[in-house]
Chain A
Amino acid sequence: MAGAGASGGTPPAGSPAQDAPLAVELRGITKRFPGVVANRDIELTVRRGEVHAIVGENGAGKSTLMKTLYGEHRPDEGTILVDGRELSFRSPSDAIAAGIGMVHQHFMLADNFTVLENIVLGSEPTRGGRLDRAEARRRILEISDRYALDLEPDELVENLGVGDRQRVEIAKVLYRDARILILDEPTAVLVPQEVDELFGNLAELKREGLTVIFISHKLDEVRKVADSITVIRRGTTVGIADPRTTTARQLAEMMVGSELPSPETRTSTVRDVPVLRLDGVTVASLGGRPAVDDVSLTVREGEVVGIAGVEGNGQAELVDAVMGLRPLAGGTVWFGDKDITAWSTRERREAGFGFIPEDRHRQGMLLEGTLWENRILGHQTRPPAAKGWFIDRKASREDTARIMKNYDVRAPGPDTLAVALSGGNQQKLIVGREMESSPRLLVAAHPTRGVDVGAQAAIWELLKDARAEGMGILLISADLDELIGLSDTLMVMLRGRLVAELEPATCTPEQLGGHMTGGTAAAGAA
């Protein structure tokens, strides 16, 4: 592996798995989707009987890689070796046959079935054409005992807690004789005590000689449970690390990288006039703790306010709340000197909100629509899109052609379907259409996610120019360089709260990473 960093390179000395044969080896795995390369030259070696963690930021390509290994799609290049044999998976059932099992982040259980029924579903033991419950029960209890899973075969799944459900998922995989388990963000849904229990279960699995591939971006947990760590960044493996000699800080650094020409903004253009002011904004979530908890911040003209945070800590909900897509449980939103808490999304748009959504396919584009329809999406009530109650198709097409030219959107013409464009070109069209309406406030969520380096630099330039002209920008990103480089004010969001405000000029990605994981809250504040 070319990129074995300072902390990687040599296998951890004294590890019990050190000389064990390889359970999984991936060589040069590359997977492309239309417009993006999701995985590029992935190298991964997992020893038998170890817990191997794969860490990386969201969107780094972890899930794509695991889907490749689980046979959900086929890689464009590269080879997969399981127990030293080269295999080619056409479907997950091939992977299951090879002894690979997957525990998905979102459980796939039937609530109205019992634990037993859920576990055997799809590979039921039968006797005389009927479900052999006795045999199923015997095997499930055997698995439960051996790995200390503590299962109640006759309990209905709907009565189980999250941790129990996860154990059912694990049992389901073990029931199919998996020797290699892939756990996709298993701790994301668990409370701390449940995490400890899960880690206990993983130790049992390891003791029985099973191999666990553990996907996560929570560095402290990874360091606690893993025997070795592979770091993925921007779709490719950048190094392996030994959890006992690597600090969370070093890992964060490997995950985030610092290779790009920093998108630094030199002089401050912050003016005194506030554009957006959030006052105690709270957004409820389904279970217990609010998704956004008492957030107050101010974006001024010419100011970029960056929000850092590990994904899932309330940033998406905050963006929705600002855009009027989600009701507030409390707090006030001010736009200039107007209280806009009760305004609809359209009123906000018309008042001068620009929006670059986090997931462009979900919120930013009509994939089956033409480019000109996408150009006017979100601006359909204003010129050049609208002429009274009508859509001005001619002007819309012309303006689309202009944006395509000015923002380097590469496509045959305004009547091309959006789905035909690469991710980068789609994003440039979105950025172009939002910039062209000269918003007073731009809500930019991951504005450069999934775009190539060239487009990224171009988008950064545009944001900088807009800021210089007095636009206020609320920037949410997982790219720490982007945040540090562009922001005038940098805040960290953790569990729905703003937990720290940092000075971008002096802040390093490591410090930021520390705050994001909640690890160095006290140290960093000092």
Chain B
Amino acid sequence: MNALRRMGPALLAPVLAVVVALVISSAVMAALAVNPFDVFAVMLDFGDSPTQQVTAMVVIVNRAIPLFLAGLAVAIAFRMGLFNIGVEGQYRLATIIAAAAGAAISLPGPLHILVIMLVAVIVAAVWAGIVALLKVTRGVSEVISSIMMNFIALGLASYLLTGPFRGSPEGASIISTAEIPESGQMPGLNGIFGALGLANPPRQLYGFLLIAAVVGVVIAVLLNRTRFGFDLKASGMSPSAASASGVNARAMVVKTMLLSGAVAGLIGLPDLLGNTHSYTTDFTAGLGFLGIAVALLGRNKPVGIAFAALLFAFLDRALVPLQIADYPSSVVTIVQGTIVLAVVVANEIARRVARRSAERGTAAPAGGPPTGNGGTGPAQTTPPGGTDERQGAQA
């Protein structure tokens, strides 16, 4: 109960934001002469057979895993007031290099996967580290430099794909890197469906789910329970107070960006290791930008980000059914967009309300009896300095 009361205000803002977003999107749909309730019905329809329903859920979770990692990567930087807009470029570049490295080597099972992950993490961290170095040495805003680094990363990735890392035959319609051998492919988790007595869907539930969960827990502990997390939080709340407390602001920027980048490096891996096994021209894009929205909606907290990722994944899944039902699939994008806007507004309102109620909350106990007692105004209060001013002037 106590926990619920503490969580209450934190939950209220995102829930409210989602509701507001749904109302606004409904209005937009109505304006487009689309019945919003029909659209929502399509979104919620997971199919008739148990297999279809489980498949829908697998699709949602598979989509949520990279979104969760993207949200986490953004949130780490957000926590200390850094905007890592470059998550997009970091994960794309990391994924293609990891894919090429994975295809080029041959190692026994788990080790192979580990090497691929390591390559991805290091590449993305280095890419984010450049942004951090520019910031601490030359004062370049990380927003600007990380956006620029996105362009470079995407350009570099397509050069690598069409050039040195090209694995697909000449003239193929989809250009891709060479396929990662089986030892570097991550098995699915479909065994659990049987254990739970559910229908086994044709789709594989990504094994990366476990790794994402571990990363989530590690990051949560790191942010909330460690000295590093405290320094990070303090730097985010007040850089000047953090410096005075002994936090090295520059080192903190570098460490935070490296960590944010490292997590960003994992974003492409669920798809790469669990499904495509190669980086292709149509590899999932835009996760880095969606991660910003997910982090906002999840209020930069790992648990919140998990729920936000699931919500966004749920909305994304509706894209295909909506098209089949002949509804504009851009509805999903509209809902996502309005959620982000509503969340930004709601977070700010919640922050102010919390702060104001905090200020009011202890004003009375701190100041003894409330001011109502002596309320007749200034005439009653004798200024403590009232008797001494003559002294001062006479001496």
Contact = CB atoms under 8 A, between A and B. Distances in A.
B388 interface: yes
B367 A422 contact: yes
B244 A238 contact: no
Interface stretch (B33-41, B233-241, B255-263, B329-337): B233-241
17 contacts: A6-B390, A34-B359, A40-B378, A239-B389, A253-B392, A259-B389, A345-B245, A350-B246, A362-B241, A364-B241, A377-B245, A378-B246, A380-B234, A381-B246, A390-B226, A391-B226, A420-B363
A3 B244 contact: no
B245 A410 contact: no
A419 B391 contact: no
B238 A366 contact: yes
Contacts of B247: 345-346
Contacts of A258: 388, 391-392, 395
A234 B390 CA distance: 15
Interface stretch (B74-82, B100-108, B315-323, B379-387): B379-387
B142 interface: no
Interface stretch (A174-182, A272-280, A368-376, A469-477): A368-376
A325 interface: yes
Contact of B366 (A373, A380, A422): A422
B394 interface: yes
Contacts of B385: 3, 233-234, 236, 238, 257, 259
A242 to B, nearest CB: 12
Interface in B217-242: 225-231, 233-234, 237-238, 240-241
A369 B234 contact: yes
B245 A378 contact: yes
B390 A345 contact: no
Given A345-B246, A362-B238, A411-B362, A239 B391 contact: no
Contacts of B386: 2-3
Contacts of B392: 5, 238-239, 253-254, 256-259
Interface string B344-380: 0000000000110011011101110000000001100
A229 B382 CA distance: 23
A522 B234 CA distance: 48
Interface string B157-198: 000000000000000000000000000000000000000000
Nearest to B229: A391
Main secondary structure of the interface of A (DSSP, over half): mixed
Contacts of B248: 344-346
B243 interface: yes
Contacts of B245: 345, 349, 377-380
Interface in A327-384: 344-350, 355, 357, 362-369, 373, 376-381
The 9 closest A-B pairs by CB, nearest first: A5-B393, A259-B388, A346-B246, A3-B389, A378-B245, A363-B244, A238-B389, A420-B358, A420-B362
Contacts of A30: 378
A88 interface: no
A384 to B, nearest CB: 13
A425 B368 CA distance: 13
Interface string A130-148: 0000000000000000000
Given A236-B383, A239-B389, A345-B246, 17 more contacts: A3-B393, A254-B389, A257-B388, A257-B389, A259-B384, A259-B392, A325-B244, A346-B246, A363-B241, A377-B241, A378-B246, A389-B228, A391-B226, A410-B362, A420-B361, A420-B363, A421-B366
B96 to A, nearest CB: 35
Contacts of B387: 259
B391 A368 contact: no
Nearest to B221: A390
Nearest to A250: B393
B355 A419 contact: yes
Contacts of B362: 410-412, 416, 420-421
Interface residues of A, number: 70
Contacts of B367: 422
Contacts of A378: 244-246
A386 interface: yes
B227 A381 contact: yes
A413 B238 CA distance: 22
Q: Which of B226, B230, B363, B367 neighbours the largest number of chain A CB atoms within 10 Å of its CB?
A: B230
Q: Which of B231, B247, B385, B392 neighbours the largest number of chain A CB atoms within 10 Å of its CB?
A: B392
A453 interface: yes
A290 interface: no
Contacts of B358: 416-417, 419-420
A519 to B, nearest CB: 18
Q: Which of A30, A367, A368, A376 neighbours the largest number of chain B CB atoms within 10 Å of its CB?
A: A368
Nearest to A345: B246
Contact of A412 (B227, B354, B355, B361): B361
Given A238-B385, A349-B245, A417-B355, A5 B237 contact: no
A252 B379 CA distance: 28
Contacts of A377: 234, 241, 245
Contacts of A510: 395
Nearest to A453: B384
A458 to B, nearest CB: 15
A366 B79 CA distance: 14
A239 B393 contact: yes
Contacts of B234: 366, 369, 373, 377, 380
Nearest to B383: A236
Given A238-B392, A363-B240, A417-B358, A425 B378 contact: no
A447 B30 CA distance: 62
A346 B245 CA distance: 7
Contact of B227 (A256, A389, A425): A389
Nearest to B6: A415
A169 B389 CA distance: 36
Contacts of A323: 244
B135 to A, nearest CB: 19
Contacts of B237: 366-369
A8 interface: yes
Contacts of A241: 393
Contacts of A412: 361-362, 365
Nearest to B231: A380
A34 B226 contact: no
B244 A41 contact: no
A40 B383 contact: yes
A254 B367 CA distance: 29
Contacts of B229: 391
Nearest to A362: B240
Given A253-B392, A376-B230, A411 B244 contact: no
A40 B241 CA distance: 30
Interface in B241-277: 241, 243-248
A59 interface: no
